[in-house]
Structure 1
Amino acid sequence: MWGYLFRRLMQSLLILLGISLVTFVLLYLVPADPARQIAGRSATAETVANIRAQLGLDQPFYVQYGRYLGNLLQGDLGRSYLQRTEVSTLIWARMPATLLLMLGAIVAELVMGLTIGAVAALKRNTPIDQSLMVFSFVTISAPQFVVGILLLYVFAVRLGWFPIGGYGTFAHLVLPALTIGLLGTGWYSRMMRSSMIDVLAHDYVRTARAKGLGKLRIVTRHVVPNAILPIIAMIGIDIGMFMSGIVVVESVFGWPGIGQLAWQAIQRVDIPIIMGVTLISACFIVLGNLLADIIAPLVDPRIKLK
Structure 2
Amino acid sequence: MSGYLVRRLIESALILLGITFVTFVLLYMVPADPARQIAGRSATAETVANIRDQLGLNDPLFVQYFRYLGNLLQGDMGRSYLQRAEVADLIAARLPASLLLMVSAIVTELILGLTIGVVAALRRNRPADHTLMIFSFVSISAPQFVIGILLLYVFSVQFGWLPIGGYGTFAHLILPSITLGFLGAGWYSRMMRSSMIDVLEQDFVRTARAKGLSRLHIITRHVMPNAILPVIAMIGIDIGLFMSGIVVVESVFGWPGIGQLAWQAIQRVDIPVIMGVTMVSATAIVLGNLIADLVAPLIDPRIKTK
TM-score band w.r.t. shorter chain: over 0.9
Aligned to 1:41: 41
Equivalent position of 2:273 in the other structure = 273
Name the aligned partner's letter for residue 26 of structure 2.
L
Q: Which runs of 5+ in 1 are unaligned?
A: none
- What residue number does 2:155 align with? 155
**1:193-272 aligned within 5 A:** 193-272=193-272
Which stretch shifts more, 104-113 or 1-10?
1-10
Q: 1:7 is matched by which residue type in structure 2?
A: R
Structure 2 CA distance for aligned equivalents of residues 3 and 127 of structure 1: 49
Paired amino acid for 1:151: L
Q: Does 1:3 align with 2:10?
A: no
Q: TM-score, normalised by structure 2?
A: 0.98
For the residues of structure 2 that align with 1:256 and 1:168, how far apart are their CA atoms? 10
| Structure 1 residue ranges, 4+ long, deviating more than 3 angstroms after superposition | none
2: distance between equivalents of 1:158 and 1:167? 20
Tell me the residue number matched to 1:72: 72
In structure 1, the partner of 2:144 is 144
Displacement after TM superposition at 1:40 (Å): 1.3
Give, as a single letter, the amino acid of the residue that structure 2 aligns with 1:222. H
Moved more, 142-151 or 116-125: 142-151
Secondary structure of the structure 2 residue equivalent to 1:113: helix
Q: Deviations over 1:48-90 (max 9, x none)?
A: 1111111111221111111111111111100000111111111
**TM-score (ref. length: structure 1):** 0.98
Does residue 171 of the first structure (1) align with residue 185 of the second (2)? Answer: no
Q: Which residue of 2 aligns with 1:13?
A: 13
Corresponding residue SS for 1:221:
helix
TM-superposed CA distance for 1:220, in Å, is 1.6
Deviation at 1:145, TM superposition (A): 1.2
Q: Determine the C-alpha separation between the residues in 1 that align with 2:248 and 2:266.
A: 12
User: Take 2:213 and 2:9, find their aligned partners in 1: how far apart are those partners?
Assistant: 45
Query: Which deviates more, 152-161 or 214-223?
Result: 214-223
- Note the residue ranges of structure 2 that are not aligned, 5 or more in a row: none
- 2-side partners of 1:295 and 1:233: how far apart? 9
Deviation at 1:304, TM superposition (A): 0.9
Q: How big is the shift at 1:276?
A: 0.4
CA distance in 1, matches of 2:26, 2:134: 38
Structure 1 window deviating more from structure 2 (215-224 vs 94-103): it is 215-224
- d(CA) in 2 for partners of 1:65 and 1:23? 10
Q: Offset at 1:212?
A: 2.5
* Aligned-partner residue type, residue 198 of structure 2: D
